Amino acid sequence: MPERRLVAIVGATASGKTAAAVAVAARLPVEVVSADSRQVRAGMVIGTAAPTPEEQAAVPHHLVGHVPPNAAYTLADFLREAREALDGIWARGHLPLLVGGTGQYVWALLEGWQPPAVAPDLVLRAELEAQLAAEGVEALFARLRDLAPLAAARLADPHNPRRVIRAIEVALADAPPPTVEPPDFGWGVVGLDWPREALHARADARVEAMYAAGLVEETRGLLARYDSALPAFHTIGYAEAARVVSGEWDLPTAIERTKIATHRLIRMQATWFRGDDPRIRWVPGGDLDAVVGAVEATVEAAGAPPVG
């Protein structure tokens, strides 16, 4: 197999990316590098739809479940760890599959972003969290726009407070501006396409399955060990389950709110993985044979890494 190539399998949440990777692994010698900003967290299994032990036995997975919920994890951390994983996979003669729905992670790796390595500023974060609680995310985004108009314009989801807070943190650190260095490997992207109604139905079914599998109990156990103010507990599923744990919401309310938040996430992911993006080879998400065929074709089309 040609060296130093990879194929990314992308799509919205609940589009079946892990199942697609397992299907590819039955035909090709592949290993998965996860591009999911939540699946990196240790102990956060149900709410992130992390690969099951059976799925991880079917194909090796990297960057899953290795970062404690209370540890900082930046885009720079992901890129460093992803490159380390890729080097190991290529050394073993296997094909890396970059699998995930965190668009920032996917394109940062494929396009060669070089983000500034800015450590978290806990004092600043506390100040920004207080402003968020008092004034809302719109005020935080306005602050970012004043500080760094270009960073604000590039932010894919200005309604995500975690993203906005991190962008302000980077802007105030007076770090060098991010640069781009073309990667030294060839790559291609396969996207899993679903009609929006079908995707919402799949997402809703997955939300119900998560709660049935014990999402509230998983959240209760995590909150017994970690501070509820951590960003990890403000993500979809855990934020709603935490309100059940606290007694603020009943279970049906949490399930419904989780579904609504997931639909919003799906819309946001579509801004990263656009249907008209010529870099993405879109295939029907429910046709695993078509997915495998597209990956095989994309390996050949990925080409050799750039020279010089």
In a domain, 308, yes or no: no
The DSSP bridge pattern shows strands 61-62 and 113-114 to be unpaired
When divided into structural domains, the chain yields a total of 2
Condensed to tens digits (0 to 9), the pLDDT of residues 233-265 reads: 999 999 999 999 999 999 999 999 999 999 999
Within the chain, which residues score under 50 in pLDDT?
Answer: 1-2, 304-308
Pair 159, 194 in one domain: no
Place of tokens 């079914």: 205
pTM score, whole prediction: 0.86
Check if the beta carbon of residue 239 is closer than 8 Å to that of residue 249: no
Residue 146 CB-half CA count within 13 A: 6
Residues 6+ apart with CB under 8 A from 57: none
The pLDDT, as a whole number, for residue 303 is 59
Same domain, 45 and 127: no
Task: Give a yes or no: residue 306 inside a domain.
Answer: no
Q: Are residues 149 and 296 in the same domain?
A: no
CATH of residue 12's domain is: 3.40.50.300
Examine residue 307 and state whether it is found in any structural domain, yes or no.
no
Spatial distance between the Cα atoms of 34 and 73, rounded to a whole number of angstroms? 14
For the stretch 61-107, pLDDT in tens is 999 999 999 998 989 999 999 999 999 999 999 999 999 999 999 99
Tell me the residue range of the domain where 135 lies: 122-172
